[in-house]
Structure 1
Amino acid sequence: MCVLSARSVSANFVKKFQFLQFNLISAVAQLSSDVSDSCSDEECDNFSKCEVVNKKDLILDTFGVTSHLRSLRGSPCLALSYFYRIREDGFRHSVWTYMAIIRILCYWGMFGEVDSVLLEVIESKVGDLGFGVAELFDALVEELKAERPKALVRALDALIKVHVVLQRFDDATDYLLKASSRGLVPSILTCNFLMNRLIEAGKGDMAAAVFQNLECFQLRPNVYSYCIMIKALFQKGDLEGAVNVLQKMEEVGVVPDAFTYSTCIEGLCLHGGSDLGYKILQAWISSKAAIDVYTYCVVIRGFVNDKKMIEAEGVLLDMEEAGIDPDVYCYGAMLQGYCEAGNVFRSLLLYGKMMKKGIETNCVIVNFVLKCLCRAGFIIDAVHKFIYFRDIGIVLDNVVHNTMIHELCKLGKLEEAMDLFNEMKINTVVPDIVHYTSLINAYFLHQKPGKAIYLFEEMMEMGIKPDIVTYNVLAGGLSRNGLVRQALGVLDLMRTQGLEPTIFTCNAIIEGLCAGGKVKEAESFFRSLKDKGLDNYAAAMINGYCDANMTRDAYKLYVSLTRRGIIVDKKSCLTLLDNLCLDGASREALMVFKDILVSDGIPCQVICGKLIAELCRAEDMKNAQWVFNSMVLEGVLPDVINYTIMLNGYCRLNCLKQACDLFSDMKEQGIKPDIITYTVLIDGHSDMKLKKAQKFDKDPANALTFWREMNEIGLNPDIKCYTALIENHRRPNNIQDAICLFGEMMDRGLEPNTVTYRALLGRYIRWGDVDRALNLFLRC
């Protein structure tokens, strides 16, 4: 081919110029690997022998080079080598010479080389070529508008794709819009490529804009276009939008393929929409489409992540019914779910099923099985399983070893953990920082600081550099064990290792010193951090005071900080509130509660319940009711315990009308009273209290009203409930009822306690029945 090209040059032209040999190898080295595929061996052999005109005699200008390239259009390799050779010899290519070589390469389908040529232009610096990519784009558009050669359209696609590869997304979309505005449309594949890369770069909004403009470009989205858009919407968390795109596909007649369904199902399952993902899977199954194991596994994992293990197991059964065998990843997801839920029985049952099917166990499965056994307290079984897995040849990695060591440490089995740790080293499994940190923490927690320090020093000698987590464990552990000097020395050690102590490090020392009985030292260290901002460490000091049962000091610090405008975090405020309630400081607890309510919203139900109980104990029903109402207003629904505490408070103060109103509200809210609730009401509506209450309420309910209601709903009274009702029968004409209640209680197999005997004994004595009182006393 090279010979034919040389003969096509006129005889006069050959006589006038001397020929030089081109070095083909050096030119080809600059091309992509596709060149060798596009050019025949014969052409390359001929070209290596070919001679071209001497650069001294040939006038190299744009017209001459363009003409010569046109003459070489039948030999693309020759043309490309000529193009690069004259550039090496100092010729400065123009936009027209670039267009000439691009035209040739497109004609021959050498699109890899087109990408390389365009890449040079796009990455060139201003002034290097004398023109920019914008000028090349304009020239390309003009030629396409004039001739519209199909092959050259690929150059427009390549121009956009190269910008995309370089992550110049703004330029890529700009050229896409410019081309469409001038009546030229890149292929849908190019648009798909652009949208996909935009999504990978986290630019889902730009991808959506391109998708929405496809119709303006007179392009019809294909199945892959829709699939990309679905992926973009899931990336944004727009589940509804993604499903709408899937529906639109079907409306416009684009049939979703397996990849589209898989993408949609996976997106839904990853974003909490496993139920809808499962429905799509079932619809897909109904269409008799071939579904792979991966898609089923995605749905299973989605349900597991949503804590819906029954549904996950249902998908597993669907697979088996469809004749598809679940793989190790399906079983792994199920085991993970049961393990996290603490369902040891189901975990081991599923593992046994997996083994019967001959599915090979891997490290992940082993890890879940061992973790399950450890959490259920079957430590010996876990150790035996570990040995079994090791002996049958399963390679147990660091994660499995760490699981065993961590779980053993949590259960206080330090000797077993240390034996396993030493066995690791014997079996050439190199311990990492996680293993060391778990053991160091465990020894500190069990008041064995000497062994913890020894392990830390061993880790350093092994060349394992401690991270911030290890240092925090070390600082906190030394502090809790009362080693003040060593704990503070950790800060200096960190700095020598190039690590700056964090807020967490200092807080670990403060809380640890307080827990270790070194409150004065903790206070001194806390004050030394004044320049760093006490607001970062105040919470730790408050927690430390609470741990040391110095709640009053914690409250004083809290008040001092809030007056200075320093905000204490919610967790520490709740700890303080809890301790104040335990100490009976209802007024101070209420102040902290109000601060939390203003800054962070209502605390949890448990904390509110403790505060209500303390206020009721202090007979401050006004504020107790205010806290109760605040719960309701903030959307924290009181439970039966909260209601019962409030009822008890009202009954103790003989506010029976308020108690009855609250009891009615409780039932209206759908909260079922329990036996304790009825006991409180029966005890609160004794004859004596009713007599006092009648001054304010002419028709209050009595104890028997609640007794009958309790029996009607099927609640069986306990000892306390019987005792309260017996205590209620104070009138002489009620003595027989009290005796009947006592007998009924005995018939039900309930053993009276001292309080019950005392209640009935008191009734006998009050009623003057000395003989029965004596008999009952002897029976006690």
Structure 2
Amino acid sequence: MLRTTASNLPKLAQSFFFHTSFSKSTLSSSSSSSSSSSSSTFLQSIPESEAKLIVNPLYHFLPQNQNPFNIVELVSSHLKTNNPRLALLQSHIKELIPHLGHRQISKILLRCQSNFVSALAFFNWVKYDLDIRLSSHNYCLIIHILAWSRQFPLAMKFLSELIELSKDVSSSEDVFQNLVLCTEHCNWNPVIFEMLIKAYVKLDLIHESYWSFKKMVKLGFVPNVIACNCILNGLAKMKSDAQCWELYEEMGRIGVHSNAYTFNILTYVLCRDGDVNKINGFLEKMEEEGFDPDVVTYNTLIDSYVRRGRLEDAFYLYKIMYRRGVMPDLVSYTSLMRGLCRLGRVREAHQLFHRMIDRGMDPDVVLYNTLIGAYCKDGMLQEARSLLHEMIGIGIHPDSFTCRILVEGYGREGRLISALNLVVEIQKLGVTVAHDIYKYLIISLCREDRPFAAKSLLERILEDSFQPDSDIYNKLIESFCRSNNVSEALLLKLEMINRNYKPTTDTYKSLIHCMCEINRSVDGEGLMVEMVESEVIPDHEICRALVNGYCKEGNADKAESLLVSFAKDFQFFDSESFNSLVKVYRDVGNETKLMELQDRMLKAGFLPNSLTCRYIIHGIWKSMRLNKQRVQTVAV
């Protein structure tokens, strides 16, 4: 519990606001009445539903349920009845609802603060039924009322809601300040400020929780060690080590006694730093203050040593635990076994596993996964499979990770059929196989040029709501194309489009390559036109495949036309495609056509390289040789 009493708060609050640069006029107005204080505590960007100005004295001549001056009294009186029906009240005072503003809401909450049920019913009625956007002051009042009535879960709910609103609405909104202001007008429980710290931590607003702690200390509050540990743990997870030590020192200064949890958090921080001397010094200080390291402390240290490859030090601590009467738990053994497995000492890890069981501990799926993963990594799949059957036999269900490491282990050994059988076996046990495992198997089968097996697997798992992505389709199409099964590849492209996946450059590249390979370059060119119409830009490899395809089919004119078109439309000047065309004319041995081609290509922007020159020289030489042979034949 906080040690500052409620009677001391107004003076402390004034001191707080003086230090936070609030003017004297603001302070005086905040202490004069609840209505004036609320004006400075509204959520800044939430539109205020302030009551309309009441300036007409003739309102007093109106019926009671139409006089705006009576709205607070009417609602408060209704809430004090044994069974308040707010829907009935709403119809009775419907003409006064527009006059129900933030000030009136605060006054009504204060009047029924001794009955949290009525206060909560009114708050929810205003918020949900009347759809009035409540002010920070309204929220703070209901939070204090609920905390005073020891309705802590509800208070925490609204406190978290207020923090979210303040965070989203205004960076200048200070929830702590507003809570302090409201303590002058209602009953309050100091524990609310510890709850504020916990709410900030729960919402991952660690720095806000830290600054709230500092404000509390400035006002004279002394939060308990649990609240301090919440901040400390949050700072440690954020790697704000300097602030961790600042908080720890401040805890000592204001008299908050650390507990084992405090020391374990700070041990974790030190282990991350890796300074062994600091760690040892801190453990000595911990023992001087009467705290013996517990299993969490030792586990933190063992895990730190394992991560740094200092396995001997980790095992030394493991032995010390027994000497000091601290029994290692599953976390201890998991860390040590993981360290052994990383160094390839799987057999020793397995022996430690059996030692743990002999000491009466029950292994879990994490421990089994550690060993199975290590055996799979070393290619010892039979041992891994035996462990799988062992864990199933003692009632431990393999999880998705177990499946993944085994499937990938079989995949690395090229035993994909065994991996598929394993998946079926695990599925029968009711284990949900993750989609990425199926993707791994399909792509692995494609890489092994077994597209029909991959497609069969895809068709089977589609029945289990599996959603293949474009990468799977591309790999399947590529694999079918490598085996020249272009009809299957085209069907997959159509299925891909039907599933609203746009074929990519890789999709078309595989198909065009295959078409050109099987002497269907015209169809390949048709696919190229289709991809351009779909705003997918071809690349050099597609250009090369089409030019080579036409050259292989003996259609040099079409190859040249396509090459020029690529240069003109896409600025592709592919030397390899140019040389393929030159090679065709070289093989014919027509010197004139070869030189004419060279001239046309130069005009189109193609520059010859060393291979081009070699082809041309060889073509001219071949042409001269053919001419000489013809002359000799005529002479004979």
* Counterparts of residues 111-150 of structure 1 (less than 5 Å): 114-121=119-126, 133=135
Cα drift, residue 407 of structure 1: 0.6
Match of 1:320 among 319, 322, 326: 322
Cα distance between partner residues in 2 of 1:160 and 1:305: 42
TM-score by length of 2: 0.57
In the other structure, the counterpart of 2:368 is 366
Q: Measure the CA separation in 2 of the matches of 1:435 and 1:225.
A: 43
CA contact (8 A) 2:268 2:300 kept: yes
Distance across 2 between alignment mates of 1:132 and 1:231: 33
Residue 86 of structure 1: CA displacement?
Answer: 2.8
Question: Could you tell me whether the CA contact under 8 Å between 1:475 and 1:508 is conserved in 2?
Answer: no
Counterpart amino acid of residue 319 in structure 2 = L
* The one of 82, 87, 92 aligned to 1:89: 92
How do 1:237-276 residues align onto structure 2 when only pairs under 5 Å count? 237-266=239-268
CA contact (8 A) 1:223 1:257 kept: yes
- Hey, what's the Cα distance between the residues in 2 that align with 1:338 and 1:184? 62
Residues 1:428 and 1:82: Cα distance change in structure 2 (over 3 Å): closer
1:102 aligns with 2:109: yes
1:63-462 aligned at under 5 Å gives the runs 78=81, 81=84, 85-90=88-93, 92=96, 94=100, 98-99=105-106, 101-107=108-114, 110=116, 114-121=119-126, 133=135, 161=159, 163-164=161-162, 167-169=165-167, 173-174=173-174, 176-177=176-177, 189-266=191-268, 280=282, 283-285=285-287, 287-289=289-291, 293-424=295-426, 427=429, 429=431, 431-462=433-464
SS of corresponding position for 2:411: helix
Partner-residue secondary structure (3-state), 1:213: helix
CA distance 1:289–1:468, change in 2 (3 Å): farther
CA distance in 1, matches of 2:70, 2:245: 59
Question: Deviations for 1:17-58, whole angstroms, at most 9, x for unmatched residues?
Answer: xxxxxxxxxxxxxxxxxxxxxxxxxxxxxxxxxxxxxxx997
Classify the secondary structure of the residue corresponding to 1:78. Answer: coil
User: How many equivalent pairs are there?
Assistant: 464
- The 2-side partners of 1:406 and 1:248 are apart by 51
Question: In structure 2, what residue type is equivalent to 1:87?
Answer: Q
Task: Name the SS of the counterpart of 2:327 in structure 1.
Answer: coil
Taking the aligned partners of 2:449 and 2:77, their CA distance within structure 1 comes to 90
C-alpha distance in structure 1 between counterparts of 2:456 and 2:135, whole Å: 66
1:100 positional shift: 5.7
Report if the CA contact (8 A) 1:160-1:175 is conserved.
no
Distance in 2 separating the partners of 1:88 and 1:297: 64
In the aligned structure 2, how far is the partner of 1:154 from the partner of 1:449? 63
Letter in 2 for 1:198: Y
Residue aligning to 2:555: none
Higher relative contact order (CA 8 A, sep 6+): 2
- The code of the aligned residue for 1:370 comes to I
- 1:255 to partner: Cα distance: 1.6
The 1-side partners of 2:210 and 2:503 are apart by: 45
> Would the alpha carbon gap of residues 119 and 301 (structure 1) be closer, same or farther in structure 2, given more than 3 Å must change?
farther
Report what 2:584 is aligned to: none
Question: Quick one: distance in 2 between partners of 1:425 and 1:70?
Answer: 63
**Partners of 2:529 and 2:246 in 1: CA distance:** 60
TM-score for both structures, normalised by structure 1 = 0.48
**How far apart are the structure 1 equivalents of 2:151 and 2:416?**
69
Task: Work out the CA distance in 1 between the residues paired with 2:427 and 2:407.
Answer: 13
TM-aligned CA deviation for residue 213 of structure 1:
3.2
Task: Tell me the CA shift for residue 410 of structure 1.
Answer: 1.0
Contact 1:274 1:302 in 2 (8 A): no
From 496, 499, 503, the equivalent of 1:494 is: 496
CA 1:468 to 1:283, structure 2 compared with 1: closer, same or farther past 3 Å?
farther
Residue 113 of structure 2 aligns to a residue in which SS? helix
Contact 1:66–1:97 (Cα < 8 Å) also in 2: yes
Q: How high is the sequence identity, in percent, across the aligned residues? A: 16
C-alpha spacing 1:483/1:279, structure 2 compared with 1 (3 Å): farther
* Backbone CA RMSD of aligned residues: 5.3
Q: Name the CA shift for 1:182/1:368 in 2 (closer, same or farther; >3 Å).
A: closer
**Could you tell me which amino acid in structure 1 is paired with residue 321 of structure 2?**
M
| Aligned partner letter, 2:495 | L
- Provide closer, same or farther for how the CA distance between residues 477 and 333 of structure 1 changes in structure 2, counting only shifts above 3 A: farther
> What secondary structure sits across from 1:360 in the alignment?
coil
Conserved? CA contact 1:265–1:278, under 8 Å:
no
How far the C-alpha of 1:239 sits from its partner, in A, is 1.6
Moved more, 449-458 or 204-213: 204-213
Q: Which digits, 9 at most, give the CA deviation of each residue in 1:671-717, with x for residues without a partner?
A: xxxxxxxxxxxxxxxxxxxxxxxxxxxxxxxxxxxxxxxxxxxxxxx
SS at match of 2:425: helix
Instruction: Please give the alpha-carbon distance, in whole angstroms, between the structure 2 residues aligned to 1:390 and 1:319.
Output: 31
Counterpart code for 1:102: L
Contact 2:106–2:137 (CA<8 Å) still a contact in 1?
A: no
Contact 2:201 2:234 in 1 (8 A): yes
CA contact (8 A) 1:410 1:442 kept: no
- Which amino acid in structure 1 is aligned with residue 256 of structure 2? V
Structure 2 spans left out of the alignment, 5+ residues? 1-61, 544-569, 571-636
